[in-house]
């Protein structure tokens, strides 16, 4: 399963958010094939990718894994699920040896409450993710014609 590596949504924005969160994260190493989280699980927190590549896949109606774009350094995984309180909409597996910073959900929400200026940046990241999804759907609909 070959998946294109997704570029960070907005590198400058991601970098400023990552800098603001750096002192709160716990570094975690992931050997190739390690599962960070599974589709349908309730999120434990957010993962900031510092090195390596993380595949994101979701289950199709037939139960087959369908690849999404892979995440790389400078990206934050689990953000929308932590903010929304919904279960993970995909699974995340280390494609290559990877290092992430992890911030537990409760700590992350406390950070946002203590630093309201971060909310705007998080909102921008989530909005950009949503617009990227729309672009992907448009691309798929054009390819299917």
Walk along the chain (145 residues) in steps of 10 and give the mean pLDDT of each run: 51 82 96 96 96 89 73 92 93 96 96 89 78 63 62
pLDDT for res 106: 96
Read off the pTM. 0.82
Q: Which of 32, 86, 25, 87 is nearest to 54 (CA)?
A: 32
pLDDT for res 69: 77
Residues 70 and 53 sit within 8 Å (Cβ to Cβ): yes
Tokens standing for residue 45: 């927190």
Q: Which of 87, 78, 91 is nearest to 48 (CA)?
A: 78
Distance CA 83, CA 38 (A): 17
Residues 20 and 115 sit within 8 Å (Cβ to Cβ): yes
Q: Is 85 left (phi over 0), alpha (psi -120 to 50) or beta?
A: left
pLDDT for res 116: 87
Tokens standing for residue 77: 């995984």
Sheet strand arrangement including 76-77: 26-30, 98-104, 45-51, 76-77
Per CATH, the number for 11-140 is 2.60.120.10
Q: Kindly give, in sequence order, each residue whose CB lies less than 8 Å from that of residue 14, ignoring residues fewer than 6 positions away.
A: 8, 74, 75, 76, 125
State residue 30 phi and psi, 5-degree precision. -130, 110
Tokens standing for residue 83: 């903010």
pLDDT for res 139: 66
pLDDT for res 28: 97
pLDDT for res 133: 64
């Amino acid at each position: 399963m070959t998946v294109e590596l997704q570029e960070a949504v907005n590198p400058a924005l991601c970098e400023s958010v990552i800098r603001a969160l750096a002192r709160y994260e716990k570094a975690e190493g992931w050997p190739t094939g390690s599962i960070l989280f599974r589709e349908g699980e309730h999120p434990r927190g957010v993962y900031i990718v510092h090195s390596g590549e993380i595949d994101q896949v979701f289950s199709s109606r037939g139960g087959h894994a369908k690849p999404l774009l892979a995440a790389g350094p400078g990206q934050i995984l689990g953000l929308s699920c932590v903010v929304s309180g919904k279960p993970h909409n995909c699974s995340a597996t280390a494609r290559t040896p990877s290092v992430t910073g992890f911030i537990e959900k409760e700590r992350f929400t406390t950070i946002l409450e203590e630093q309201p200026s971060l909310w705007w940046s998080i909102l921008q990241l989530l909005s950009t993710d949503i617009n990227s999804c729309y672009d992907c759907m448009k691309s798929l609909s054009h390819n299917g014609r």
